[in-house]
Structure 1
Amino acid sequence: MLEDPEFKAPIGNVTTPVGREAILSCTIDHIAKYKVGWLKAEDQTILTLHDKVVTHNVRISVTHDNRSTWQLHIRQIKESDRGCYMCQINTSIMKKQIGCIDVHVPPDILYEETSPDLSIREGDNASLVCKATGHPPPRITWRREDTEYILLRKSLREITKVESYNGSTLYFWKVDRKQMGAYFCIASNDVPPAVSKRIILSVNFSPSIRVPNQLLGAPLNTDVQLECTVEAYPNTVNYWDKNGEIIFDGIKYSVKEKRANYIVYMWLLIRHFNKTDIGTYKCISTNSIGRAEGTLRLYGM
């Protein structure tokens, strides 16, 4: 009398990155005259019957090793292949085993649901949102492009500094100019590659001017340098003024400035300082939001 076939080991579950091949193995003792079939467990769709492929899916094939181990192969696996599969023996009382395939998918940024570059007035609230798909669900991490700390305001006086922030929404309460910059939202789920999107947060505010030396004395017949520091965004138009007349770069004066993010350093060099140069000078800065000026008084020593 022939022995009934028996499963030697569980099929087990398989995890495969999308695009690769997934293999489920069904090992049976005493298969004899009986037939082995593979089915999609969810809807009982027959995929293979013994050594023949029944489905029209060209990515599916079946192999067997001396009629002992029957393997279901799914090439170029897709997300739609995720699920459980049944190895079935056509005994009088049907015998079956189930194994499942989990398809891992690398992350992808959902651009329509992710914030574009954002421009906001200083003191308003702002949120940067980043959404991504993938399996397992991706983690979202925020970092600054310039590797500086992310500043998170908890109250008017309490600010937390962090190298990175985890979560799909990066919230800024009463946004400050120091929070302006380019941020990366990075989506990762341990299925390479991780992906990122660069989002620029612009903080708009009217100019403010700081004058290091408001009263400056200099010996006659020397070169004298005046200096102002401007903070503003968007970019400013800056110039020097004496007695209502704009000072231009030339033989008598050297006008220079240097920008660093939202800070502008202004310098006015007065060559061969003489009595006619004594007086009040103004550094003036304007942008689309406002105007500011700083006053310097220059006298001879």
Structure 2
Amino acid sequence: MVWRLQSDRNQLQILLLRLLCLLPTGLHVRSVDLNRSTDNITVRQGDTAVLRCNIEDRSSKVAWLNRSGIIFAGQDKWSLDPRVELDKRSVLEYSLRIQKVDVFDEGLYTCTVQTQHHTKTTQVYLIVQVPPKISNISADITVNEGSNVTLVCIANGRPDPIITWRHLNPTAREFEGEEEYLDIQGITREQSGKYECKAANEVASADVKQVRVTVNYPPIITESKSIEAFAGKQAYLRCEASAEPKPDFEWYKDDTRIFRLSSAQGLEIKNMGNRSTLMVANVTEEHYGNYTCVAANKLGVTNTSLYLYKRVIPTKPIPAKERGSNAHFKQKGPGTAIVDNGSSNLAASLWLMVTALVCLICKC
């Protein structure tokens, strides 16, 4: 089949050459060099291709042909394509220039030169390379944890581009193999994020696109802490949860729900993303006790208990150096106690002795 196709192509070329008077009618077909080796020229899509052909003298009859027919016969242009023109840098050159080459230009081109003695042909096979281009990639998706996920990345190019996938997490894991499809079995929350598809060949820089995968999972409490607070001061109870989608928070005091703005109770709830804060503006005795933080989304609910403890100012102890080893209390007025030391006992004894001596003198 291939041999017959080549034979038919040769017969067509011979017919065209005879129509152009480049091949005399009486010339035996075998004497025409139509089966000579073919030169290849590789051009990137959008560039300019120059197909070289040289002639022996100015009287030579020349023509360019391709699989579709005649392009140039001598100086006459038969093609209607404005991108095609002759490239004559010298009188003995009959090259063909094709601007903004595209894929449909690829194929076999024949330059035929007829001299007074023989007919010579030059064949050039034009190869068009195409930079890689991602034509289709999965849209951003949201799935529940444990689901199976398939990502698709279709790319075109010549030669065929190599496709690789990479998960853009902190470790930037690259998946093994070169596949248009990336299958993830039982996806986990750690596998959420952006996935990068890269299509590469040697023609130009790789084409890169991304798809985001969001993994839904029920909330779990990641941070909570009980605190102590003074009466009359502000206090904050904080609760943080990890979840996708973002969790909704509720607070309870014992079994009673606290609403976001409970001015009468001096309480206020502030939610920011994955964190919720319960503020007590002015702590009173009724505020101390057990609180419950509840985090919920469409996949589940969880809770944790926090305590608001009463903080007491400790009594300041009397330093030992001020008390002394023989310290005792001495009354000085009603209900008053003062601290005295051993020197007070000596003074009292001397006072008693002086008083007794005065009494004896008076009796005399």
Would you say same fold, with TM above 0.5? yes
**Over the residues paired in the alignment, what is the CA RMSD in angstroms?**
3.2
**Structure 1 contact 38–85 (Cα < 8 Å) conserved:** yes
Q: What SS does the corresponding residue of 1:26 show, helix, strand or coil?
A: coil
Cα distance, 1:83 vs. partner? Answer: 1.9
Where does residue 121 of structure 2 map in the other structure? 96
Cα distance, 1:296 vs. partner? Answer: 1.7
Letter in 2 for 1:36: V
TM-superposition CA deviations, 1:232-283 (whole Å, max 9, x none)? 1123222222223123246523433333xxxx12222223323211222121
**Structure 2 contact 164–175 (Cα < 8 Å) conserved:** no
Find the aligned partners of 1:37 and 1:105 in 2 and give their Cα distance: 29
**Structure 2 contact 132–199 (Cα < 8 Å) conserved:** yes
Letter in 2 for 1:98: Q
1:56 maps to 2:80: yes
Letter in 1 for 2:171: Y
Where does residue 138 of structure 2 map in the other structure? 115
Find the aligned partners of 1:257 and 1:268 in 2 and give their Cα distance: 9
Q: What SS does the corresponding residue of 2:190 show, helix, strand or coil?
A: helix
**Structure 1 contact 38–88 (Cα < 8 Å) conserved:** yes
Find the aligned partners of 2:206 and 2:261 in 1 and give their Cα distance: 51
1:258 maps to 2:272: yes
Which residue, 200, 209, 218 being the options, matches 2:221? 209
Which residue, 107, 112, 136 being the options, matches 1:83? 107
Percent identity of paired positions between Structure 1 and Structure 2: 28
Q: Which has the higher strand share?
A: 1
Where does residue 241 of structure 2 map in the other structure? 230
Worse-superposed segment, 31-40 or 128-137: 31-40
Q: What SS does the corresponding residue of 1:178 show, helix, strand or coil?
A: helix
1:268 maps to 2:268: no
Q: What SS does the corresponding residue of 1:123 show, helix, strand or coil?
A: coil
**Structure 2 contact 129–203 (Cα < 8 Å) conserved:** yes
Cα distance, 1:293 vs. partner? Answer: 1.8
Find the aligned partners of 2:209 and 2:88 in 1 and give their Cα distance: 47
Which of the two has higher C-alpha Rg? 2
Residues 104 and 200 from structure 1, CA distance in 2 versus in 1: closer, same or farther, beyond 3 angstroms? Answer: same
1:291 maps to 2:305: no
Letter in 1 for 2:65: L
TM-superposition CA deviations, 1:157-209 (whole Å, max 9, x none)? xxxx4599964333323211122123332334355565443322010112222
Q: Which has the higher helix share?
A: 2
Cα distance, 1:24 vs. partner? Answer: 1.0
Q: What SS does the corresponding residue of 2:299 show, helix, strand or coil?
A: coil
1:185-196 correspondence to structure 2 within 5 Å: 185-191=197-203, 194-196=206-208
Letter in 2 for 1:20: D
Cα distance, 1:285 vs. partner? Answer: 1.9
Letter in 2 for 1:47: I
| Larger RCO of the pair (alpha carbons < 8 Å, separation 6+) | 1
Find the aligned partners of 1:241 and 1:177 in 2 and give their Cα distance: 29
Where does residue 290 of structure 2 map in the other structure? 280
Residues 275 and 164 from structure 1, CA distance in 2 versus in 1: closer, same or farther, beyond 3 angstroms? Answer: farther
Where does residue 105 of structure 1 map in the other structure? 130
Compute the TM-score of the two structures, normalised by the length of structure 2: 0.65
Letter in 1 for 2:50: I
Find the aligned partners of 1:149 and 1:163 in 2 and give their Cα distance: 12
Count of residue correspondences: 274
Find the aligned partners of 1:219 and 1:164 in 2 and give their Cα distance: 60
Where does residue 24 of structure 1 map in the other structure? 51
Find the aligned partners of 1:66 and 1:297 in 2 and give their Cα distance: 96
TM-superposition CA deviations, 1:68-123 (whole Å, max 9, x none)? 22110112222100123222223565422222222232333223xx3122221112
**Structure 1 contact 183–200 (Cα < 8 Å) conserved:** yes
Cα distance, 1:66 vs. partner? Answer: 3.7
**Structure 1 contact 218–300 (Cα < 8 Å) conserved:** yes
TM-superposition CA deviations, 1:121-180 (whole Å, max 9, x none)? 1122212211111223233344556x6334xxxxxxxxxx45999643333232111221
Find the aligned partners of 2:281 and 2:89 in 1 and give their Cα distance: 94
Find the aligned partners of 2:217 and 2:193 in 1 and give their Cα distance: 14
Instruction: Give ranges in structure 1 of 5+ residues lacking alignment.
Output: 1-5, 151-160
1:132-211 correspondence to structure 2 within 5 Å: 132-143=155-166, 148-150=170-172, 161-162=173-174, 167-191=179-203, 194-211=206-223
Letter in 1 for 2:163: I
Where does residue 68 of structure 1 map in the other structure? 92
Find the aligned partners of 1:164 and 1:148 in 2 and give their Cα distance: 18
